[in-house]
Structure 1
Amino acid sequence: MIETVFRTEDLPVADRADAWRERLSQAHAPVDLTCRPDSHFSAYQRVIPLGSALVWPSVSASYAIRRTPELIRSSDPEVIHLSLITKGTVGFRMHGPDALYSPFEFRTHDSSHPWEILLGTRGEAVHAVSVDVPRARLPLASDDIERVIGHRLSGREGVGALLTSFLTTLADKTGSYTDADAPRLETVLLDLLAALFANALDAMDSVPAESRRRTLALRIQAFIREHLHDPDLTPATIAAAHHISTSYLHRLFQDLDRETTVSGWIRHLRLERAREQLADPARSDVPVHLVAARAGFEHHPVFTRAFRAAYGMSPRDYRRRALLLANRV
């Protein structure tokens, strides 16, 4: 997937803050920026375009930024911004008193209201994954969006955890996607944003039915990944945990991937987890049967047959080859 990279280190020190202000103004809307006069300001940004949305991981030194009524009157693209803070602290003021945000909290604002932000409240660098998306692209009523924007949202539980996983995975593994994946990834992003906002309002019924279906499917996939180690993980137990019928669970998976059943996907994930552990030099002393059990295979012969069918060799032979290759590097 094509992405663009911006580094202030490529610029003269005197030009860095202005260049970063211009980058932020292009992604969101015109802003004012100030940084500590005694510091050599630095910022790093990757921009990942997903249709009408932009996702941009960044690392920056401490700075202050604001959007004023004057800037809003001069230009308002009606864009919503969401930032997942992964390291550092951020001070924020929009509708009410000052708020302090910490890692794995979502901070939101939009281009239509004044706001002020201080990144790195203790002078520290801030790591974040940010999203800018046109307000019109969210499948929610404008009044519902207004009730959420500017309020603290958790990235550690529920839909927030799904969005955290999506953004951090996208940021870490951008190279594993192609430009053809962008429309699908944009749909997932918009569904999760809408569900996050609606959940904060306790108004999931306001989300279109198709978005709710896709979000439920993402919840179920996350649940499966978290419970792979459980040998009792079956379509029936998954459906019961999500208060749906087994037949509806199968229909959800058919919509996601007509080539894979629920049981087939579970088996694939377990084999991949076992394969990764077998190839890890740090786990070379873990017995193969224990690797299998930790991946959710209750019977070792079943695991060995499935592994050989998937990868063309026994688990022990795969480990031996993988460790040999690792030692040559």
Structure 2
Amino acid sequence: MIETVFRADELSAADRLDFWREHMAKTLCPMDMDCDRTADFEADMRLLQLGSVSVWPMTVTPVRFRRTVKLIRRSDPELYHVTIPLMGSNGISHADLEALHGPYDMHIVDSSRPFDIHVVDSLTPARMVGIEVPKALLPLPPRAIERLLARKLSTQEGMGALLAGFLTELVKDTAPYGPTDGPRLQTIIVDLLSAVLAHQIDADGILSPDTHRRTKILQIQSFIQRHLRDPNLSPSTVATAHHMSLSYLHRLFQDDGITVSAWIRRQRLERIRRDLTEPALFSISVQRIAAQWGMTSYPHFSRIFRATYGLPPKDYRQQAAVRNGQ
């Protein structure tokens, strides 16, 4: 993954809007832009390049984006733009539909068709996260996707919630990822978006067996992460919650070269490791932190923590405290 940061406030107020117009044309696609608040225009954007897919968290003063027939003729990257407003609302005119989308109302537009999007005016800049996906990567008929353009796609349940959660977590902290992680992250995003769209058009059968398997694993992993604090979480409880046999659950994870129990344990250990380095939690005992993440046998936890990170948990915390000047 390659990350680039753009900030309009590094320029004079008079140059910011023109800079942002040029920047958006290069990173997304050519668009006309205007803003009623040029004197205090603010915008910042991080561009995460994941192979052919890009993710862009952005904060921007209310602004209007227009993609016209003339601009399409000039250049068309043939992308689907998917946007999730996090704070503020987007008004859209696209594909013979006008709509207003508020926070977490995911929506999609087609770079090959004209659109008019305006960030609804408010006292504070709007925040959003978007993805750009080449049309060729989605295994769905373009005519079917046309039915979804500019419409609200739910992020409150199912694959929509999984996609929104994955994107917001990804942009929150990119430190764990390097350049070689781009293709894997691209596959996850394309699989999740394909599943969201296929569900909306009742075309789940179009998705490949590999896509179904990968999205099922992502659903299961999301469930596990939400229930890590439950000491009774186990492969059996995970299988029951997903209405599948224990043997099938194990087969899903074996394809990725890890057991279900090992994946649960790794996630718990990582949460505990993070808590042990958090100064605000230094007054809480190591044993209590481990128990809060479902690891109730302290001797067992201490052994596997040392085997994983090279130090006993108390020594690991002590080193973190020294680094933080405690």
Q: What's the TM-score once normalised by structure 1's chain length?
A: 0.90
- SS of the residue corresponding to residue 105 of structure 1 reads coil
* 2:81–2:132 Cα contact (<8 Å) kept: yes
Structure 1 CA distance, aligned partners of 2:53 and 2:15? 28
Structure 1 CA distance, aligned partners of 2:124 and 2:30? 25
Structure 2 CA distance, aligned partners of 1:305 and 1:29? 53
The answer for the alignment partner of 1:90 in structure 2 is 90
The answer for the alignment partner of 1:251 in structure 2 is 251
Q: 2:272 aligns with which of 271, 274, 298?
A: 274
1:118 maps onto 2:130 in alignment: no
Structure 2 CA distance, aligned partners of 1:107 and 1:133? 13
- SS of the residue corresponding to residue 149 of structure 1 reads coil
Structure 2 CA distance, aligned partners of 1:10 and 1:115? 29
* 1:43–1:58 Cα contact (<8 Å) kept: yes
The answer for the alignment partner of 2:154 in structure 1 is 154
Structure 1 CA distance, aligned partners of 2:197 and 2:302? 45
* 1:8–1:44 Cα contact (<8 Å) kept: yes
Q: Please, what is the CA RMSD of the aligned residues?
A: 2.2
Q: Which amino acid aligns with 1:302?
A: H
Q: Which amino acid aligns with 2:313?
A: P
Within a 5 Å distance, the mapping from 1:27-46 to structure 2 comes to: 27-36=27-36, 39-46=39-46
Structure 1 CA distance, aligned partners of 2:131 and 2:171? 11
The answer for the alignment partner of 2:284 in structure 1 is 286
Deviation at 1:224, TM superposition (A): 0.8
Percent same amino acid among aligned pairs?
44
Q: Which amino acid aligns with 2:141?
A: A
1:265 maps onto 2:263 in alignment: yes
Deviation at 1:62, TM superposition (A): 1.2
Structure 1 CA distance, aligned partners of 2:51 and 2:319? 42
Structure 2 regions of 5+ residues with no counterpart?
none
Structure 1 CA distance, aligned partners of 2:42 and 2:320? 40
The answer for the alignment partner of 2:212 in structure 1 is 212
- Deviates further, 263-272 or 201-210: 201-210
CA-to-partner distance for each residue in 1:72-127, whole Å, 9 max, x for gaps? 34443321101122222222222456433222231211112222211143253112
Structure 2 CA distance, aligned partners of 1:216 and 1:224? 12
Structure 2 CA distance, aligned partners of 1:37 and 1:296? 51
Q: Which amino acid aligns with 1:51?
A: G
Q: 1:302 aligns with which of 300, 303, 306?
A: 300
CA-to-partner distance for each residue in 1:134-154, whole Å, 9 max, x for gaps? 212111121221122211123
Structure 2 CA distance, aligned partners of 1:39 and 1:143? 42
The answer for the alignment partner of 1:183 in structure 2 is 183
Deviation at 1:225, TM superposition (A): 0.7
The answer for the alignment partner of 2:237 in structure 1 is 237
Deviation at 1:211, TM superposition (A): 0.9
Structure 2 CA distance, aligned partners of 1:72 and 1:305? 61
The answer for the alignment partner of 1:106 in structure 2 is 106
Structure 1 CA distance, aligned partners of 2:134 and 2:316? 48
- Deviates further, 67-76 or 206-215: 67-76
- SS of the residue corresponding to residue 77 of structure 1 reads coil
For the structure 1 residues 278 and 96, does the alpha-carbon distance in structure 2 shift closer, same or farther, using more than 3 Å as the test? same
CA-to-partner distance for each residue in 1:7-65, whole Å, 9 max, x for gaps? 22333433322222222223333221110155332222222222222222222111111
Within a 5 Å distance, the mapping from 1:38-77 to structure 2 comes to: 39-77=39-77
The answer for the alignment partner of 2:221 in structure 1 is 221
For the structure 1 residues 175 and 272, does the alpha-carbon distance in structure 2 shift closer, same or farther, using more than 3 Å as the test? closer
- SS of the residue corresponding to residue 255 of structure 2 reads helix
* 2:98–2:150 Cα contact (<8 Å) kept: no
- SS of the residue corresponding to residue 294 of structure 2 reads coil
**How many residue pairs align between the two structures?**
326
